[in-house]
Chain A
Amino acid sequence: MMQTAAMPDWVALLTAALLLLGASITLIGSVGLLRLRNFYSRVHAPTLGSTLGTGATLAASILWFSVLQTRPVIHEVLIAVFMTVTTPVTLMLLVRAAFFRDR
């Protein structure tokens, strides 16, 4: 945290809020992974982390680096696009595998 002394207050506070939001949502998802009782219920839990958890953290990163480098830094959008496309694919494959194994 060297070059952060000159940051406007609202940027620092908004980044902090987004980071905390993303991390807590991810934790709730993982707790769900522990608490829910069967596999088909548990499948729903990690989606929290990969949608809103990732989204909030990426938004924090975009905001922070854009202000820090005084230019739009939006390459985090790539991770967001990539996660939106791949998470459903892996989850659907897993559910189909579970369905197949249960028969």
Chain B
Amino acid sequence: MTRWLPYPRLSVALLALWLLLNQSVGASHIALGVVLGFLAPLVMANLEVPRAGWRRPGAVVRLAGWVFADIVRSNIAVAKIILRPGPLCHTSGFVTIPLELRSPNGLAALACIITATPGTIWVRLDSAEGLLVIHVLDVIDENTWIQTIKNRYERLLMEIFE
């Protein structure tokens, strides 16, 4: 199993990608997709990518729900700032957040979530001390942001990846 199918989730994802691209679930497309899903991970195994293990599908669903809701909410917030007539008044600035999350995959997921949400962007991470710097378009209260990131995302990501 581990030798011939080193990344089972990647294999399934590649098969799904192939079927979606061809828009068909015909036998020949499934056969080609299976071949692709079998060969590509063998090549990947040579790159020695760290294995991405995640658990707790429930936490993944809850996280996805939060992220979706936050993206919609912050889209509206940023749109309001942009559309406000007159000179723009918002206090943008950097916020430093102490992180306890250490797993590389969890950090990558957090980076994607923070950057995909309008209004916040990942600037850099001091991985030795676990200090994350993000830039926020409208910092009203620094502590609110720190608590939001830590309680809403970091806790769920630690459940999933650690």
Contact = CB atoms under 8 A, between A and B. Distances in A.
B123 interface: yes
A92 B88 contact: no
A34 B90 CA distance: 15
Interface string A62-103: 000000000001110110000011011001100110010000
A86 to B, nearest CB: 10
A99 B79 contact: no
A48 B137 CA distance: 13
Contacts of A78: 17, 20-21
A92 B75 contact: no
Given A40-B121, A48-B78, A51-B118, 5 more contacts: A38-B92, A47-B121, A51-B75, A88-B111, A92-B111
B112 interface: yes
A75 B20 contact: yes
Given A35-B88, A78-B17, A95-B135, A44 B75 contact: no
A28 B76 CA distance: 10
Most chain A CB inside 10 Å of its own CB: which residue of B78, B111, B135: B78
A43 interface: yes
Smallest CB-CB A-B distances: 8 pairs: A88-B115, A32-B82, A47-B118, A88-B112, A44-B137, A52-B75, A75-B20, A28-B79
Interface in A29-49: 29, 31-32, 35-38, 40-41, 43-45, 47-48
A87 B137 contact: no
A96 B124 contact: yes
Interface size class of B (residues with CB under 8 A): 20 to 34
Contacts of A77: 20
A95 B125 CA distance: 13
A32 B71 CA distance: 17
B23 interface: yes
B121 A44 contact: yes
B6 interface: no
A45 B90 CA distance: 14
A57 B83 CA distance: 21
B21 A44 contact: no
B69 interface: no
B131 interface: no
B122 A52 contact: no
